Structure 1
Amino acid sequence: MTVKPSIRRIATRVVAAVAALACTFSLAACGEDEAGKIRIGIKFDQPGLGFKKSGTYVGFDVDVAKYIAKKLGYSEDEIIWKEAPSKQREAMLQNGDVDMILATYSITDERKKAVSFAGPYFVAGQDLLVRKDDHSINGPEDLNGKRLCSVTGSTSAATVKEKFASEVQLMEQPGYAECATALFSGIVDAVTTDDIILAGLASASRGKLRVVGKPFTQEYYGVGIKKGDTKLATQINNAIVQMIQDGSWQRAISDNTAGTDYTPDVRYNPPTPNEGEEE
């Protein structure tokens, strides 16, 4: 029997509508090669944390994300990695572009108005990265008149504006690679962000940059999720607890900061993940 074109068009629209509805209720959004997979936002430009290298993804955030995904029932080849720049993270979660974000994403009250968090899975501290031979900056007390670089939309940039606005000139860049380049070339005197991020940049510089080692904040890294998803928050928190207990968390820290003198602040690490759960 020949199906009339008009009937065929109606059938096509019905199938498309059903598929769209199915996408709405699934965790991993439908799309080409995305069905049955989990989409995780990470940084692509942070050595030691979230770094895209020859088509692969490496770093501490990546290792934590893989562990969580496995506990949620996803193998590594069922993860779709998406770049999550600092200033785009809330929008990516709100728009459903990703299912979760692990991108040195500090938990703050302001961000919790737009998204929810699980975790924390790590506690960093904002510090300073300088050229190895520059000893004029030994802590935040030496910043008067200095030029700093941080990333647009990061809590580090916000902290500089709040605490040091009258003392420093702040250059904001879209990523840490641009800040490191500005530091190498002498355009800025220091890069400021979380100590574990700076440790990764120092490691990648092959001894040309150093971390000052005087953190002046605590940054609680959370797993960003869609606002109000308490069930997913509980599942992620359980996975983080297991990662800490079985030694995988410490191994991930050691593997991704090898060659540096960096150690997490033991006063805060490993943290207790309790964010986002229903009270």
Structure 2
Amino acid sequence: MSTMRFRVAAAVALAAALPLALTACGGGGDENKIVIGTKFDQPGLGFKNPDGTVTGFDVDVATYVAGELGYTPEQIEWKESPSPQRETMIQNDQVDYIVATYSITDARKEKVSFAGPYLLTGQSLMVRADNTDITGKESLQNNKKLCSVSGSTPAQKIKAEFPGVQLQQYDTYSACVDALKNGGIDAVTTDQVILAGYVAQAPDKLKLVGEPFSEERYGIGLKKDDTELQTKINDALEKMAADGAWTAAFEKNLGPAGLTAPTPPAVDRS
């Protein structure tokens, strides 16, 4: 082969290979997109509306962080992240990070890393508005039927600390809420901010009872030991707290449920 013919062939081969290389670098062909996991069934936190939009405090936090990472809201792909599937979704690279009422625990930190916390809350109880015999956690031991979500921290706590309760575990909190409204269970337990969103939607049918009986630290879940992304997200959370965007997001999404915006929690960089 002449030198000229060799150069032409090499140029053609390079031109053919280049799009493939760019596609590989772009993570499935779209390097201008970020995939974020959240809940689709938690009003005030992560909720998918009939028009397909996703709204809530977790969504606003996730969107702010994405903006600090260089992505516009239009470049976000939202992926539903049920509680039992969150670690698997992160480990399998189905999402870049998850903001989905995700409590930071030692057991979870063996599988994924966390940025944050970005919100502190506590486990509470929700009952039907006409219920009078459940007034707090002490009322649960009389063989009450209690619902929570499989794989959630509240479900684990109930199994460990309240053996006299009939615990029903569903995939989503909305399924628990439906069962509560229909009389199939006596109460729903999870974090107060989650329950408050459902009460705000149906105050004539649902109410909160008792005081919170745990402390939950919500973090942003990401790939295990991805310290670079973890640092960038923590920087974004600190900026969101400092510029007032965190408080504005809390008041917009959770204020209607009667919750007052607390001081944003300090990021844990240990």
CA distance in 2: counterparts of 1:158 and 1:231, whole angstroms? 31
Secondary structure (helix, strand or coil) at the match of 1:183 reads: helix
CA distance in 1: counterparts of 2:55 and 2:70, whole angstroms? 21
| 1:22 counterpart letter in structure 2 | C
| 1:148 counterpart letter in structure 2 | L
1:134-173 deviation per Cα after TM superposition (whole angstroms, max 9, x unaligned): 1211111111121100001111111111111x21000001
Secondary structure (helix, strand or coil) at the match of 1:150 reads: strand
CA distance in 2: counterparts of 1:113 and 1:57, whole angstroms? 30
1:82-124 deviation per Cα after TM superposition (whole angstroms, max 9, x unaligned): 1111111111111111100000000000001110000000011
Distance 1:241 1:11, change over 3 A: closer
The Cα of 1:12 is off from its aligned counterpart by 11
User: What's 1:93 paired with?
Assistant: 90
Task: Say whether residues 1:37 and 2:40 are aligned partners.
Answer: no
User: Is the contact made by 2:125 and 2:190 (CA closer than 8 Å) also made in structure 1?
Assistant: yes
| 1:116 counterpart letter in structure 2 | S
Q: Within 5 Å, which residues of 2 pair with 1:37-186?
A: 37-53=33-49, 54-144=51-141, 145-164=143-162, 166-186=163-183
| Alignment: residue pair count | 256
Where does the alignment leave 5 or more consecutive residues of structure 1 unmatched? 1-9, 24-28
| 1:37 counterpart letter in structure 2 | K
Where does the alignment leave 5 or more consecutive residues of structure 2 unmatched? 1-12
The Cα of 1:257 is off from its aligned counterpart by 1.8
Structure exhibiting the larger radius of gyration computed from Cα positions = 2
The Cα of 1:126 is off from its aligned counterpart by 0.4
Distance 1:72 1:213, change over 3 A: farther
Question: Which of these residues, 198, 202, 206, is aligned with residue 205 of structure 1?
Answer: 202
Secondary structure (helix, strand or coil) at the match of 2:265 reads: coil
Task: Say whether residues 1:272 and 2:269 are aligned partners.
Answer: no
CA distance in 2: counterparts of 1:16 and 1:271, whole angstroms? 45
CA distance in 1: counterparts of 2:156 and 2:53, whole angstroms? 31
TM-score, length-normalised on structure 2?
0.89
Secondary structure (helix, strand or coil) at the match of 1:143 reads: helix
User: Is the contact made by 2:129 and 2:205 (CA closer than 8 Å) also made in structure 1?
Assistant: yes
Question: Which stretch of the first structure deviates more once superposed, 214-223 or 200-209?
Answer: 200-209
| 1:52 counterpart letter in structure 2 | K
Percent identity at matched positions? 50
Task: Say whether residues 1:18 and 2:18 are aligned partners.
Answer: no
CA distance in 1: counterparts of 2:19 and 2:176, whole angstroms? 45
CA distance in 2: counterparts of 1:90 and 1:13, whole angstroms? 38
- From the two aligned structures, give the one with the greater helix fraction: 2
TM-score, length-normalised on structure 1?
0.86
The Cα of 1:248 is off from its aligned counterpart by 1.1
User: What's 1:6 paired with?
Assistant: none
CA distance in 2: counterparts of 1:86 and 1:206, whole angstroms? 26
